Chain A
Amino acid sequence: METIAIPAINMSVIAPEMILSVVAMALLLINVFVKNEQKGYLGYLSIAGILVTLYSLTIGWGAPQDGFSGSVVQDNFAIFFKGIFLVSAAMSILITDQYLQREGCNQGEVYPLMLFATVGMMLMASGTDLMTIFLGLEVLSVSLYVLAGFNRGSIRSNEAGLKYFLLGAFSTGFLLYGMALTYGATGTTKVVKIAAAAQSGMVSSNLMLVAGMLLMATGFAFKVAAAPFHMWTPDVYEGAPTPITAFMSVGPKAAGFAAFLRVLLVALPVFKAEWSSLLWVLAVLTMTVGNITALYQQNIKRMLAYSSIAHAGYILVGFTAGNAVGTSGILFYMLSYAFMNIGAFAVIILVGKKGEENNNLADYAGFGYKHPALGVAMCVFLFSLAGIPPAAGFVGKFYLFSGAIQAGYIWLAIIGVLNSAASVYYYLRVMIYMYFKEPTEDFNWVRLSPAFIICLIIAIAGVMIPGVVPGTILELAQKAILM
Chain B
Amino acid sequence: MLGAYLPIIVLLVVAACFGLGSVVVSSLVGQKKLSPVKLQPYECGCEPVGSAQERFSIKFYLIAMLFILFDIECVFLYPWAVLFKRLGVFGLIEMGVFVVILFVGYIYVWKKGALEWE
Q: Which of A333-360 contact B (CB under 8 A)?
A: none
A4 at the interface (CB under 8 A from B): yes
A373 at the interface (CB under 8 A from B): no
Q: Is there an interface contact between B107 and A6, defined as CB atoms closer than 8 Å?
A: no
Q: Is there an interface contact between B107 and A29, defined as CB atoms closer than 8 Å?
A: yes
Contacts of B88 in A (CB 8 A): 3-4
Interface residues on A, range: 10 to 19
A12 at the interface (CB under 8 A from B): no
Known pairs A3-B86, A3-B88; A204 contacts B108 (CB<8 A): no
Q: Is there an interface contact between A29 and B104, defined as CB atoms closer than 8 Å?
A: yes
Query: What is the CA–CA distance of A249 and B46 in the complex, to the nearest angstrom?
Result: 57
Q: Which of B59-118 contact A (CB under 8 A)?
A: 83, 85-88, 90, 101, 104, 107-108, 111-112
Give how many A-B residue pairs fall within 8 Å (CB-CB).
27
Q: Is there an interface contact between B104 and A2, defined as CB atoms closer than 8 Å?
A: no
Contacts of B10 in A (CB 8 A): none
| Option from B86, B104, B108 in Cβ contact (under 8 Å) with A4 | B86
Q: Is there an interface contact between A4 and B83, defined as CB atoms closer than 8 Å?
A: yes
Q: Is there an interface contact between B108 and A28, defined as CB atoms closer than 8 Å?
A: yes
A469 at the interface (CB under 8 A from B): no
Contacts of B85 in A (CB 8 A): 1, 3
A296 at the interface (CB under 8 A from B): no
A33 at the interface (CB under 8 A from B): yes
Query: What is the CA–CA distance of A256 and B83 in the complex, to the nearest angstrom?
Result: 38
A192 to chain B, nearest CB (A): 23
Contacts of A2 in B (CB 8 A): 86
A206 to chain B, nearest CB (A): 11
Kindly report which residue of chain B lies nearest to residue A9, judged by CB atoms: B90
Kindly report which residue of chain B lies nearest to residue A4, judged by CB atoms: B86
Query: What is the CA–CA distance of A314 and B83 in the complex, to the nearest angstrom?
Result: 52
A32 at the interface (CB under 8 A from B): yes
A205 at the interface (CB under 8 A from B): yes
Interface residues on B, range: 10 to 19
B112 to chain A, nearest CB (A): 6
A25 at the interface (CB under 8 A from B): yes
Query: What is the CA–CA distance of A205 and B104 in the complex, to the nearest angstrom?
Result: 46
Q: Which of A10-69 contact B (CB under 8 A)?
A: 25, 28-29, 31-33
Known pairs A3-B86, A3-B88, A4-B87; A33 contacts B111 (CB<8 A): yes
Q: Is there an interface contact between A205 and B1, defined as CB atoms closer than 8 Å?
A: yes
Known pairs A32-B111, A32-B112, A205-B1; A6 contacts B90 (CB<8 A): yes
A349 to chain B, nearest CB (A): 28
Contacts of A3 in B (CB 8 A): 85-88
Kindly report which residue of chain A lies nearest to residue B83, judged by CB atoms: A4
Query: What is the CA–CA distance of A205 and B2 in the complex, to the nearest angstrom?
Result: 9
Q: Is there an interface contact between B1 and A204, defined as CB atoms closer than 8 Å?
A: yes
B93 to chain A, nearest CB (A): 11
Query: What is the CA–CA distance of A204 and B1 in the complex, to the nearest angstrom?
Result: 8
B64 to chain A, nearest CB (A): 18
Kindly report which residue of chain B lies nearest to residue A21, judged by CB atoms: B101
| Option from A32, A204, A205 in Cβ contact (under 8 Å) with B107 | A32
Known pairs A1-B86, A4-B83, A4-B86; A29 contacts B108 (CB<8 A): yes
Query: What is the CA–CA distance of A33 and B108 in the complex, to the nearest angstrom?
Result: 10
Instruction: Mark interface residues in B1-35 (1 if CB within 8 Å of A CB, else 0).
Output: 10000000000000000000000000000000000
10 residue pairs of the A-B complex, CB under 8 angstroms, read A1-B85, A2-B86, A3-B85, A3-B87, A3-B88, A4-B83, A25-B101, A32-B108, A32-B111, A33-B111
Give residues in B with beta carbon < 8 Å to A.
1, 83, 85-88, 90, 101, 104, 107-108, 111-112
Given contacts A3-B88, A4-B88, A29-B107, 9 further A-B contacts (CB under 8 A): A1-B86, A3-B85, A3-B86, A4-B87, A25-B101, A32-B107, A32-B108, A32-B112, A33-B111
